[in-house]
Amino acid sequence: MNKQKSIALVAHDNRKKDLIEWVRFNKDKLRGHLITCTGTTGKLVEEELNRDTLGHPLLVKRMKSGPLGGDQQLGAMIAEGKIDIMVFFWDPMSMQPHDVDVKALLRLTVLYNVVTASNRATADFIISSHLFDEDYEVRLKDYSGYIQRTLE
């Protein structure tokens, strides 16, 4: 993981306001990194990051909306090693039409040892860690035994 991190920012509808407040508070730290978002969240994040910017707009890579495949697009990026950190403010109080996609996305973050925050407190600890601004060697579990297993 390089000093410049690739960060995925995702929020369910009822948590978008919380994520945008977090982005506003951490705007200066986020500016030096690559930001990827799903759907509407990406539009809101890009607007917030570029508010009061003097001619140096920050581009946010936007995927599809989560229910339309954005979660799977992020999952593919995780599997390809293209996401270092994911901040996903999900709504624990509402059933989502794509709950299985959300579960699969979170499973991939664990499988590929991606730093993941699902709430403000964890996101605050991550962005304030000295490791956020440094190179970091990610250690991945070796799954070759699983891949090379023989089935009877």
Per-residue pLDDT of the chain (152 residues; tens, 9 = 90+): 899 999 999 998 899 999 999 999 999 899 889 999 999 999 999 999 888 766 667 779 999 998 889 999 999 999 999 999 999 998 887 777 667 888 899 999 999 999 999 999 999 999 999 999 999 998 888 887 777 777 77
Pick from 76, 75, 61, 77: which is nearest to 106 by CA?
75
pLDDT of residue 34: 95
Look-up of token digits 């624990």 = 92
**Considering Cα of 41, then 43, then 49, then 51, what sign does the dihedral take?**
negative
pLDDT of residue 99: 77
What superfamily would CATH give domain 6-147?
Answer: Methylglyoxal synthase-like domain (3.40.50.1380)
pLDDT of residue 55: 62
Please state whether the predicted TM-score (pTM) of the whole model is above 0.85: yes
Give the Cα separation of 111 and 106 in Å (integer).
Answer: 9
Burial class (CB in 10 A: 0-12, 13-18, 19+), 22: buried
pLDDT of residue 53: 65
Which residues are part of the catalytic machinery? 71
pLDDT of residue 149: 79
